[in-house]
C-alpha cells in the first residue's frame, strides 16, 4: 500500500500490516460516514425548561455559588453546547473513576474545544463538593455545574429510575425558538455486548485509543482508578 519500510521488518510482517492498514483505512472512512450521518440529524425537540444549574463563584469570603440557566451557557457567537453528565451524585462516597478519567482528558482539551463550541460538565452533587474534587485533580478549564434541585439528569437520562447516576454526553443547539436537544450518546442506553461495556464515548477517550494500539490491548477487566499512589 506504500513503499516505506521499518528497520528489519519481514515480508510476513508487511503482509499482515498491510491487511491491518486496509482495515484502518476502511474504519477511518466509516467513522467519517457516521460523523456525516450525525451532522445530518434533524434538530431535536426544544428543551422543556430553562434548567437552573448551580455554579461556583468567587466571593469576598471565599467560594460562593450562583445560579446559571441552560440558555446562559451559550457564549455569544457559539450556538452549540456539549454537556457531559458526570456520575458524581450526592449519595456517592466517591465519583465514578471511569468518568473522572475521561474528564482528566477533557480538561486538557477544553480550551481547544471551546474555540468552536461551549462545553460544560454537570453533576448531581452540590457544586462546592464538585469544585473541591476539581481542585484535587487540578481541573481549571472545565465549566462545572450542579444539577441538584433540577430534573435535568432524569429528563436527559443522566440517572436511572432509581436515582443511580449514568454517564452520557449531549449536544444542545440554540435557535430563535429556544434551546434544542440535538444529540446524545445513546449507545449508553443499549445493552452492553458480551465482554464489553457500552463504549459510548470511546472515540473521545485518549486512554482506550492509546491502549488499543498495543499488543496487550485494554487489559481484559482492567479499569482506571482515581489514584495510583
| Residues 64 and 22 placed together within one structural domain of the fold | no
First to last CA, the chain: 45
User: What range does the domain containing 167 cover?
Assistant: 52-187
Which DSSP helix (H) or strand (E) runs through 146?
Answer: strand 144-146
List, for residues 144-159, the tens digit of each pLDDT value. Answer: 999 999 999 999 999 9
Kindly report the CATH number assigned to the domain that includes residue 62: 3.40.30.10
Give the chain's domain count: 2
List, for residues 66-110, the tens digit of each pLDDT value. Answer: 999 999 999 999 999 999 999 999 999 999 999 999 999 999 999
| Residues 94 and 179 placed together within one structural domain of the fold | yes
Give the pLDDT band (50/70/90) at residue 62: low
Residue 159 lies in a domain: yes
What's CA 35's distance to the chain center, in Å? 16
Residue 46 lies in a domain: no
Which DSSP helix (H) or strand (E) runs through 119?
Answer: strand 118-123
| Residues 172 and 131 placed together within one structural domain of the fold | yes
| Residues 20 and 100 placed together within one structural domain of the fold | no
| Residues 26 and 120 placed together within one structural domain of the fold | no
Q: Checking phi first, is residue 217 left (phi over 0); if not, alpha (psi -120 to 50) or beta? A: left
| Residues 35 and 112 placed together within one structural domain of the fold | no
3-state secondary structure of 103: helix
| Cross-strand partners of 119 | 82
* Contact of 170 with 47, CB cutoff 8 Å: no
Among 187, 206, 221, which residue terminates a domain?
A: 187
| Residues 32 and 86 placed together within one structural domain of the fold | no
Residue 208 lies in a domain: no
What is the value of pTM for the model shown? 0.93
Amino acid at each position: 500500500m506504500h513503499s516505506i519500510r521499518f528497520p528489519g521488518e519481514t515480508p510476513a510482517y508487511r503482509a499482515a500490516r498491510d491487511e491491518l492498514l486496509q482495515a484502518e483505512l476502511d474504519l477511518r472512512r466509516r467513522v467519517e460516514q457516521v460523523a456525516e450521518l450525525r451532522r445530518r440529524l434533524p434538530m431535536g425537540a426544544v428543551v422543556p425548561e430553562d434548567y437552573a444549574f448551580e455554579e461556583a463563584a468567587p466571593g469576598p469570603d471565599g467560594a460562593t455559588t450562583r445560579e446559571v440557566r441552560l440558555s446562559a451557557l451559550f457564549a455569544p457567537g457559539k450556538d452549540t453546547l456539549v454537556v457531559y453528565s458526570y456520575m458524581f451524585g450526592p449519595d456517592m462516597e466517591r465519583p465514578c473513576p471511569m468518568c473522572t478519567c475521561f474528564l482528566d482528558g477533557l480538561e486538557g482539551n477544553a480550551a481547544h474545544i471551546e474555540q468552536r463550541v461551549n462545553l460544560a460538565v454537570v453533576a448531581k452533587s452540590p457544586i462546592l463538593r464538585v469544585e473541591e474534587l476539581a481542585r484535587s485533580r487540578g481541573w481549571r478549564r472545565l465549566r462545572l455545574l450542579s444539577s441538584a434541585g433540577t430534573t435535568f439528569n432524569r429528563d436527559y437520562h443522566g440517572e436511572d429510575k432509581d436515582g443511580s447516576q449514568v454517564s452520557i454526553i449531549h449536544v444542545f443547539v440554540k435557535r430563535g425558538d429556544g434551546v434544542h436537544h440535538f444529540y446524545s450518546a445513546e449507545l449508553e442506553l443499549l445493552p452492553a455486548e458480551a465482554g464489553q461495556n457500552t463504549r459510548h464515548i470511546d472515540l473521545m477517550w485518549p486512554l482506550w485509543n492509546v491502549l488499543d494500539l498495543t499488543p496487550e490491548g485494554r487489559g481484559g477487566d482492567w479499569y482506571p482508578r482515581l489514584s495510583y499512589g
